[in-house]
């Protein structure tokens, strides 16, 4: 049975009210000395938007004997592929508590994707090329990003108080830091300072 006009209008109003509540916000992460933190993972926990995914896919490639990207941010439950674009073979591994990985010497693309089913930070390396390293940050929210060279990342968020979980390669701890984010009714820039 097709939806009635009343149901269509109600659905359209609900969608427009949700989008009207979101305001553009630029989050800037700063270190303890006030310096912008580039290439940092930022995850915003908005009420009602947390949880795992079962359909997302991502890629952590190897090119020119480096991981690309150096930092990959994904939602919990994301399946990650590890294609090797180099002419040499790689042996990708991680001993991180959130995901142990051991992809033996290979070329091309591994047959199976690896599902990251726990939040946290996985540090990757290559058993053949010691200088190769990268990180996969896994978060329990679909609202996430990576900061640019000015330490900034943009979101559309509802006004109010949210929780930010963030991580950057220069911090001492492998755990994501938690900071409170107050989004003003009109949105705009918000600077957050991390502890380490």
* Integer Cα distance of 104 and 102 in angstroms: 6
Residues 134-182 pLDDT 10s: 999 999 999 999 999 999 999 999 999 999 999 998 888 889 999 999 9
Q: Are 52 and 75 in contact (CB under 8 A)?
A: yes
What pairs with residue 16 in β-bridges?
none
Residues 6+ apart with CB under 8 A from 57: 78, 79, 80, 81, 113
Sign of CA dihedral 38, 155, 25, 171: negative
Residues 122-131 pLDDT 10s: 999 998 998 9
């Amino acid at each position: 049975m097709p939806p009635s006009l009343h149901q269509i209008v109600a659905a359209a109003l609900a969608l427009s009210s949700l989008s009207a509540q979101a305001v553009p916000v630029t989050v800037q992460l700063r270190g303890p000395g006030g310096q912008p933190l580039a290439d940092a993972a930022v995850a915003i926990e908005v009420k009602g938007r947390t949880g795992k995914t079962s359909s997302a896919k991502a890629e952590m490639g190897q090119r020119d004997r480096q991981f690309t990207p150096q930092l990959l941010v994904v939602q919990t439950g994301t399946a990650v592929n590890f294609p090797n674009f180099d002419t040499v073979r790689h042996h990708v591994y991680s001993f991180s508590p959130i995901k142990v990985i051991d992809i033996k010497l290979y070329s091309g693309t591994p047959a199976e994707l690896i599902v990251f089913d726990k939040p946290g930070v996985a540090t990757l390396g290559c058993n053949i090329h010691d200088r190769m390293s990268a990180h996969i940050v896994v978060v329990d929210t679909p609202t996430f990003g990576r900061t640019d060279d000015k330490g900034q990342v943009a979101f559309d968020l509802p006004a109010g108080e949210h929780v930010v979980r963030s991580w950057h390669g220069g911090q001492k701890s492998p755990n994501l830091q938690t900071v409170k984010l107050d989004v003003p009714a009109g949105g705009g820039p918000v600077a957050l300072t991390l502890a380490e």
